[in-house]
Amino acid sequence: MVFRDYTFERQFLFHTHNSPMAKSIPIFKFKVYTVTNNSLPNTMKSLKEKIPLNIAIITYILITIIALVYHVLILTQTIPYNNAWGGRLESIEQMYMFEMVSIVLQLLFVILIFTKSRVKENTKTYRITKPTILFIALLFLFNTLGNLAAIELFEKIVFTPLTMFAGIAALRVWME
């Protein structure tokens, strides 16, 4: 980020009632950094230039649709539930709970991505969705690490790149 540096000195005056012998002694200095609008690190600038916003939104939605279909197939037990959640689910009840939470969160994330892409800057909705989208992006990027540690090879091979791309797409939407 591009920072503007402002240095301030706080003066403490030792004197009695505007005496001509007043002495100014600097007690402390501190710096205030302000971030200029639309200032991103170079790597993020290149990401913003390389991935158009509409492509990031479409990519995120397609990945979410793939994940939703996968979770529905697990819910209907077409796919065994040990192929999800790193192969660590122990019961059908646990599977239902995890899958329902996952589906609800993914639908909420899609709504937030749409909302963020449609609202204007400096509105209340914008101020709420912007940090939420950053949270989503970080969640997917950390989920990528979780997928790398999965017991199931299928989850490692298929969902590691999908969560990474979803995280990058959400990061790109956050930058807008």
pLDDT per residue as tens digits for the range 26-68: 444 444 444 444 555 666 677 788 889 899 999 999 999 999 9
Residues 6 or more apart in contact with residue 148 via CB below 8 angstroms: 156, 160
Global pTM value: 0.70
Please count the structural domains in the chain. 2
Same-domain status, 20 and 85: no
Angle at CA 152, nearest 5°, toward 151 and 158? 125
> DSSP H helical segments within 16-151, as ranges?
42-50, 53-75, 92-118, 124-148
Higher pLDDT, 140 or 3: 140
Same-domain status, 102 and 29: no
Same-domain status, 98 and 153: yes
pLDDT per residue as tens digits for the range 67-105:
999 999 999 999 888 888 877 888 999 999 999 999 999
Give the Cβ contact number of residue 66 at 10 Å: 14
Same-domain status, 119 and 168: yes
Does the pLDDT at position 3 exceed 60?
Answer: no
Angle at CA 160, nearest 5°, toward 63 and 90? 100
Structure confidence at residue 5 as a pLDDT band (50, 70, 90): very low
Same-domain status, 31 and 47: no
If 0-12 CB within 10 Å is exposed, 13-18 middle and 19+ buried, where does residue 62 land?
middle
Residue 92, helix vs strand vs coil = helix
Same-domain status, 99 and 15: no
Q: 71: closest CA among 38, 41, 104, 45? A: 104
Same-domain status, 47 and 78: yes
Same-domain status, 24 and 96: no
Same-domain status, 30 and 52: no
The whole domain housing 18 covers 3-35
Same-domain status, 124 and 53: yes
pLDDT of residue 101: 94
Same-domain status, 94 and 149: yes
pLDDT per residue as tens digits for the range 152-174:
888 889 989 999 999 999 999 99
Strand pairing report for 23-35 and 3-14: antiparallel
Helices 42-50, 160-175: inter-axial angle, 10-degree rounding? 100
Residues 6 or more apart in contact with residue 16 via CB below 8 angstroms: none
Give the Cβ contact number of residue 45 at 10 Å: 13
Same-domain status, 60 and 78: yes
